Amino acid sequence: MERLFLFVYQNRAFFTFIALELVCAWLIVTNNHYQGAKFFNSSNGIVATMNNFSQGVRDYFQLREVNQMLAEENAALKEKINQQVQLTAALDSTGLVQDSVLLKQYEFESAKVVNNHVDFFKNYLTIDKGEDKGLVPGMAVISPLGVVGKVKLVSNHFAVVTSLLHVDVMVSARLKSTEHFGTVQWDGLNPDIVEFKYIPRHVKPLVGDSVITSGYAIFPDGIMIGTVAEVNLRDEALFYDLKVKLSQDFRKLSFVTIVKSNMQPERDSLEQAVISLEK
């Protein structure tokens, strides 16, 4: 502290000069309209620029919370849309609800991806929701852009999802333009492309046609998978060799939505009963 006082004392002339300059500048600004207007306009511009910069920094560090909020809102909107569609299906010609079970067929839960792989033949991803949110193995997982995979293992607070980029995963799908059904499966090569199998040769698929879920398995009907990128048909082949560009870039996957099918246990139980009877 003594050295600080000594430094100020030794440079007292310089500090006095600076103080007098500031007083003079303030007198000029406050007693002259033109100079005052220029000063305050310039200072307001500088302050506005600094405020915009600081706000941009704050917004950047709040992106995670914003994304989480948007994901939860997206899940809620999906559930409302699904309920509206099911309500329309449940109404008869008189406008009365005939099947109340349809009104709660699906529920949606948003989750954040905390680990993800795209560079193996069998890829998985980990999400930050588990048994605490009602997740069980077998549930479908989607994103705002399309199909992601299905839940494989669940702990109290996390779940491992088998990615669509897994060579053993097959998803029932259909061409949106022609309504013909087939199976989507990854070949383990390009994480942007999957194969669309079992489309018969009499169909006329085109590049750019949308490929969506069929609704036959765990995924709701009409979930986007991708668009046809290549159409090939070998001589004497029964089916096309179709390449589909995925609508979801798995390398940029941050948030997903888990689809809880409330009617799936009843359906599984009935189908298992049929299988048991056939044995």
Please check whether residue 153 lies inside any domain of the structure. Answer: no
Please check whether residue 123 lies inside any domain of the structure. Answer: no
> How many whole angstroms from its chain centre is CA 157?
20
Beta bridge partners of 276: none
Q: Which two tokens stand for residue 176?
A: 């949106």
Report the distance separating Cα 127 and Cα 242, nearest Å. Answer: 31
Q: Does the predicted model carry a pTM greater than 0.85?
A: no
The residue among 61, 78, 107 that closes a domain is 61
Please check whether residue 138 lies inside any domain of the structure. Answer: no
Please check whether residue 80 lies inside any domain of the structure. Answer: no
Please check whether residue 42 lies inside any domain of the structure. Answer: yes
pLDDT digits (tens, 9 = 90+) for 181-231: 999 999 999 999 999 999 999 999 999 999 999 988 889 888 999 999 999
Q: What is the DSSP letter of 248?
A: S
Domain extent, residue 12, equals: 2-61
- pLDDT tier, 95 (very low <50, low <70, confident <90, very high otherwise): very low
Q: How many CB atoms lie within 10 A of CB 205?
A: 19
Please check whether residue 86 lies inside any domain of the structure. Answer: no
Please check whether residue 50 lies inside any domain of the structure. Answer: yes
Using alpha carbons, list the distances in angstroms from residue 102 to 83, 106, 269.
8, 9, 18
CATH code at 204? 2.40.10.350
Report whether 35 contacts 43 (CB < 8 A): no
Number of domains in the chain: 2
Rounded to 5 degrees, φ, ψ at 71 are: -65, -45
Please check whether residue 69 lies inside any domain of the structure. Answer: no
Report whether 128 contacts 112 (CB < 8 A): yes
Whether the per-residue pLDDT at 63 is higher than 80: the answer is: no
The count of residues in the chain is 279
The residue among 61, 81, 103 that closes a domain is 61
